[in-house]
Structure 1
Amino acid sequence: MQHHRLLALALGAALTGNVAAEGTSTLAKPDEVQTATFAVDTEVKLVTDQRNRGISDSLNGPGAQLSVQMAHESGIIGLVQLSTVSKKSYTNADGYNLLLGTGYRFGDPDGWHFGVGLATEFFPGAKFSAPHGLDLEAGVPTDFKTTRYDTSYAVLEIGWGALEGRILNVLSRTYRGADTGGVCGQILAVSVDPTKAIECYARGDRNSRGSWLFDLGYKIPLGAATTLNLHAGAQKIRHFKEADFSDYAIGITHTRWGFQWSAEWLTTRTKARELFLVLDGDRLRAQDNNRLVLSVARKF
């Protein structure tokens, strides 16, 4: 979708049991000096397609990601992440997304564990102007406004062993540009039949604050160095049922030579495909198509 891209929040990775375990060390003995343990984990990742919640952020092309995760033995965690994005998908963007997150995690990584957090993602330079109204008598769009893609979230995680559940709520005015201009305007721009756009505009000028995103993941060890990854996700965009969709993924991760090699099959179930079309030159390209994504990552 040119004005509205729908995602998996990277802060969730920082709230998983693996990160908490890496950032927690055994407490010092009573006769030793009590020193707070703090760990920093840096990862560089290359992918054949930069996808969030099954939707391509890179116009179906390759991408790169740099993540720095910080964990304190008290359970406090932080995340700074840079990801490449398409300038065509995110209008006027500088070509990258910056995610800043912090949270607190507690519990038993092998049993019940929980996490809470806050995160904000920025799309430097990215913004678009779109109509927030429609004059039915004249048949022309009206009330043009500028919208940015920057989004803030509250995150809740509940896990049991390798099973991870995650709930996100949108705190900012819009979820990645999802407002009347970003949703109704996009449908109007790419549809031959304006009926859906008229129905969308009839609800008035709305934003998407309060939207909900849900994720469920499960990891199955297939050996000392190989893991099977299963994922299911759904999102409910407030005021815009057209933007609701679900995504599913199954993949394999294998560690070899100090690198993590992954292959993942992703599929989505969208309601209004018009929201996931991006103009590339003289043709529209879908970003919600099924896709096999390969990646390689290295931690430092």
Structure 2
Amino acid sequence: MKKLILSVAVLGAFSASVHAQTAPTPEHTFTGNLTVASDYRFRGISQTFKQPAVQGGFDYAHSSGFYLGNWNSNVSGNQYNNGAGLEMDFYGGYKFEPVTDFTADIGLLYYYYPGAKVGQTNEKYNNGEIYFGGTYKWFSAKYSYGLTDFFGLNDTTAATPRGNSKGSGYLDLAFNYEVAEKTTLTLHAGRQWVRHYGEFNYNDYKIGIARDFGFATIGLAVIGTNADKGLYTAVDGTGRSKKVGETTAVVSISKTF
């Protein structure tokens, strides 16, 4: 899930881009990233039962605007049952600049959870989306449209069957601004729509600050949602439950190389 917490790594790239404007763009660019976070929040919802996460990935970009990438994170078996406790994201797309200072982005993203199945069914959590986005200076917007059921939600897995959930969508609005040298403020607001299952709709937000210390970027963010606490609750094997959409503070340390 191209995660909220990953914005920390993006901030480092945002700062570096200022210095890269005077240098020629290489035809092929390969980068990697590694993050350790106190919680993995995807669209405001904890994916690790409010426990820490280790995350990392690799990206390839061509000077024409095409790119490919992979990103990975541990996830909780209390939320992604019967699997390896792993999320693997595969994505690719095309970025271009139709007008000065505005970058458009279109791509495909696939979330893969090895071995994980919803409850006692054979339905998988794997999820595919197409996204359309744009960035103008400090502002960005992106809309993701679900090509598959929303993380396995359909007539087989829903408590009250109402059809499949293909066509669900997520709107991501963000503002990234360098408030001081190597220090970036992030503001985010999002809206998740789940087709045919409106009770799962919610808003989420993030207020974060991150500083690039050279050896790594350290970030602190407050993340929350108005998601239904009864629906967005996870339970472990001992019966202990956690409301995974509650407001929390996330600390992270990341490095792009």
TM-score where L is the length of structure 1: 0.77
Distance 2:16 2:111 in 1: 22
Tell me the equivalent position of 2:204: 247
Judged with a 3 Å threshold, the aligned counterparts in structure 2 of structure 1 residues 15 and 105 are, in CA distance, closer, same or farther, namely: farther
Are 1:101 and 2:101 matched, yes or no?
no
CA contact (8 A) 2:216 2:254 kept: yes
User: Secondary structure of the residue that 1:242 maps to in structure 2?
Assistant: helix
Equivalent positions of 1:284-299 (< 5 A) are 284-299=241-256
Distance 1:23 1:150 in 2: 38
Tell me the equivalent position of 2:77: 87
Count of aligned pairs:
251
Q: Deviations over 1:78-100 (max 9, x none)?
A: 11111110111100120110000
User: Secondary structure of the residue that 1:148 maps to in structure 2?
Assistant: coil
Distance 2:15 2:113 in 1: 26
Tell me the equivalent position of 2:113: 123
Q: Deviations over 1:200-230 (max 9, x none)?
A: 34x4xx1111111110000111111101000
Judged with a 3 Å threshold, the aligned counterparts in structure 2 of structure 1 residues 73 and 41 are, in CA distance, closer, same or farther, namely: same
Are 1:282 and 2:239 matched, yes or no?
yes
Are 1:67 and 2:57 matched, yes or no?
yes
Are 1:223 and 2:180 matched, yes or no?
yes
Pick the aligned partner of 1:160 from 117, 129, 136: 136
Q: Deviations over 1:43-97 (max 9, x none)?
A: 1100000110110000000001012111111001111111110111100120110
Tell me the equivalent position of 2:166: 209
Tell me the equivalent position of 1:178: 153
Judged with a 3 Å threshold, the aligned counterparts in structure 2 of structure 1 residues 101 and 23 are, in CA distance, closer, same or farther, namely: farther
TM-score where L is the length of structure 2: 0.89
Q: Deviations over 1:161-209 (max 9, x none)?
A: 110100000112x11122234442xxxxxxxxxxxxxxx34x4xx1111
User: Secondary structure of the residue that 2:48 maps to in structure 1?
Assistant: coil
Distance 2:23 2:111 in 1: 30
Judged with a 3 Å threshold, the aligned counterparts in structure 2 of structure 1 residues 220 and 235 are, in CA distance, closer, same or farther, namely: same
CA contact (8 A) 1:84 1:95 kept: yes
Judged with a 3 Å threshold, the aligned counterparts in structure 2 of structure 1 residues 109 and 23 are, in CA distance, closer, same or farther, namely: farther
Structure 2: segments with no counterpart, 5+ residues: none
Judged with a 3 Å threshold, the aligned counterparts in structure 2 of structure 1 residues 19 and 212 are, in CA distance, closer, same or farther, namely: farther
Higher alpha-carbon Rg = 1
Tell me the equivalent position of 1:193: none
Are 1:114 and 2:89 matched, yes or no?
no
Structure 1: segments with no counterpart, 5+ residues: 1-6, 28-35, 131-144, 185-199
User: Secondary structure of the residue that 1:180 maps to in structure 2?
Assistant: coil
